[in-house]
Amino acid sequence: NAGVTQTPKFQVLKTGQSMTLQCAQDMNHNSMYWYRQDPGMGLRLIYYSASEGTTDKGEVPNGYNVSRLNKREFSLRLESAAPSQTSVYFCASSEKREISEAFFGQGTRLTVV
Amino acid sequence: EDKVVQSPLSLVVHEGDTVTLNCSYEVTNFRSLLWYKQEKKAPTFLFMLTSSGIEKKSGRLSSILDKKELSSILNITATQTGDSAIYLCAVTGGTSYGKLTFGQGTILTVHP
């Protein structure tokens, strides 16, 4: 009954360090998403993948890269972390159909110092 | 660019009060409007409203979609402290299936 699993749950980075946030879903969903959440700004889409093998930029893609490794996994990479990337990151997945709700992971709290 | 605006941004009430949260949107080729509740961690799904389902109800929570006014309300009656959370509104539309555009959220605090 895992749903969407994100790792790690917490991370502290120094400015300029790199890291990859991992996400996996076991619901056989085609579409996967990465959002960031900052106080007073709701959730903003960073990148999404409508299906295996495709990725597209969302609202705030700068400073990030993604990889849709297979249908289950969608990773988010910060190549050179900046304090502005301090945020809570959520991975989500949904069915690729016209109307579908998204299911969210538990989030990764990232602090860049 | 799709846009979702929620109001109020925060709300403090006492147990037993009724609250109404608002969500307005601008989206090309509207498909659906979704409400999520977020407590300490991941947002959890509450309702989805579409052109064919403009009113939903579950217990003390209910939601209505007004396609003419491009808006939705979420009502919570007889509030309880467990209703304290961030309530997020999101819309889907355009050509990207499932891609959600979120509002800023409403922080609801229910005091005993």
pLDDT digits (tens, 9 = 90+) for A94-107: 986 666 788 999 99
Q: Is the dihedral of CA A49, A36, B20, B17 positive or negative?
A: positive
Order of all β-strands in the sheet with B55-58: B3-7, B19-26, B71-76, B61-66, B55-58
Specify the pLDDT at position B87: 97
**Sites in chain A below the pLDDT cut of 50:** none
Q: A101 and B42: CB-CB below 8 Å? A: no
Q: In the 8-state DSSP scheme, what is residue A73?
A: B
Per the structure block, which two tokens stand in for B8?
A: 């109020």
For all residues of chain B together, what is the average pLDDT? Answer: 92
User: CA-CA distance, A108 to A67, in Å (whole number)?
Assistant: 17
For all residues of chain A together, what is the average pLDDT? Answer: 93
**Which residues in B have their CB inside 8 Å of a CB on A?**
4, 6, 9, 31-32, 34, 41-45, 48, 50, 88, 90, 92, 96-105
pLDDT tens-place string over residues A73-87: 999 999 999 999 999
| Banded pLDDT at B95 (limits 50, 70, 90) | low
Contact between residue A21 and residue A35 where contact means Cβ atoms under 8 Å apart: no
Whether cis (ω within 30° of 0) applies to the bond prior to A8 is: yes
Specify the pLDDT at position A84: 97
